[in-house]
Structure 1
Amino acid sequence: MTSFSDIAPINTHYETYRVDCYACEVNSLINWHRAKLYLTEHQEKINSAAQVNRIDPAFVRAIIHAESHFNEKAISKQGAQGLMQLMPRTAQSLGVTKPLDPEQNIYGGTRHLARLLKKYRGSHSLAAAAYNAGESAVKKYAGIPPFPETQVYVKRVNILLKRYIKSAPIQLTKN
């Protein structure tokens, strides 16, 4: 039998299930410079979607880490779903019919990120801010909005991005 609680049970196995943005909590005690990285989870899907959309897979991985902590069943209080936490209207506009399907979610979310990167001339910070707070907020404030949640989100995505880039396997070319 499944039950949910905000208190850890005593003497039994349990799983923690987050329903909010992993990297958005302003007072997070997580050391983002040392947090575990997810280097192999959904690797083929991420690499393929990044290649098709011509963006760095490390950025896709950083967004997934920040949004859902690689929990493909994550659903936020606002209704965002899956690994990349796609809102229903956004998912629909991206052709994602099953937002909890990792492949559809990654491909749709990566397509969305690629569009944001193009719009913001390659700025990972502005693309992340728009991904979190919306494009209208980035436009209104002519940059990263002054929302504490978005401010910490962008910083944490950038930390994760640098770490994922550094941890990426070296690609050898054939001679």
Structure 2
Amino acid sequence: MDGKRRWIGICVVLAALCLTRGFGAGTPAAFAGSIYKYVDENGVVHFTNVPTAPGYQKVDLPPLPTLPIPRKLSEDSFQQHIHKAASIFGVDPRLVRAIIKAESDFDPMAVSHKGAMGLMQLMPQTAKEMGVQNPFDPLENIFGGVRYLKEMLRRFNNSLLLALAAYNAGPEAVEKYGGIPPFKETNEYLRRVLRHYMRLKRQ
């Protein structure tokens, strides 16, 4: 507990130093230097990152605690992005949520064995065509995925089944077979998306 209290105390001091010297949250240089302390004749401890007297001594900072970084987030984590993209491209936001659930289970860092990336599992070439520079950025990924979904809907005369099949297997496969390709993966994908979509529509 002593080490924990010491770390908390130093964090408070660091925050105070940033505030008093005008450092903002976007300036990590505030923490780049060392921290020094000085005890005056009244026993008051002073902290600074710019020592102005020979009595200041360098403070040995404990290592930063390691915190786990969450990957998969809840279905509600990206609602704002989903609704904005769905509104711009004229797509049901519940359908977008269903696709994300089926594709990545809301893991923005997901990568498939075929190389599809992010929330809506964009293939590298698709991401490039949709103007997505960082497929692991939730906002970019969702906008790129919804834009691609809209293109598939237009290409197949707003047929939901064919558009979803094209999203999964590619539009060329749908055109080649004149309908839903006879791929086990594609048929299972359609069932997953439609199951999630129906659930969301009932809510």
The 8 Å contact of residues 99 and 120 in structure 2, kept in 1 or not, is answered as: yes
CA shift, 1:117, in A, is 1.1
Normalising by structure 1, we get a TM-score of 0.72
Partner of 1:80: 116
2:79 corresponds to 1:56:
no
**Residue number in structure 1 paired with 2:138:** 102
Once the two structures are superposed, residues 10-48 of structure 1 have per-residue CA deviations (whole angstroms, 9 ceiling, x without a partner) of xxxxxxx99xxxxxxxxxxxxxxxxxxx54120000000
Q: CA deviation at 1:164?
A: 1.5
Aligned residues: 134
The aligned residue for residue 66 of structure 1 is 102
The alignment yields a C-alpha RMSD, in angstroms, of 1.9
Instruction: Tell me, yes or no, if structure 1 residue 163 matches structure 2 residue 199.
Output: yes
Q: Which runs of 4+ in 1 moved over 2 A?
A: none
Corresponding residue for residue 42 of structure 1: 78
> Given the two structures, how large is their TM-score scaled by the length of structure 2?
0.63
Instruction: Tell me: higher relative CO, structure 1 or 2? Use CA pairs within 8 A at least 6 residues apart.
Output: 1
Letter in 1 for 2:162: L
Bigger Cα Rg: 2
CA–CA separation in structure 2 for the residues paired with 1:98 and 1:79 = 14
For structure 2, the residue ranges without an aligned partner over 5 or more in a row are 1-70
CA contact (8 A) 1:125 1:158 kept: no
More helix by share: 2
Which ranges in structure 1 are unaligned for 5 or more consecutive residues? 1-16, 19-37, 168-175
Name the one with the larger strand percent. Answer: 2
Contact kept? 1:75, 1:82, Cα under 8 Å: yes
Identity %: 48
1:103 shift after superposition = 0.2
User: C-alpha distance in 2, partners of 1:124/1:58?
Assistant: 13
Q: Aligned pair 1:129/2:197, yes or no?
A: no
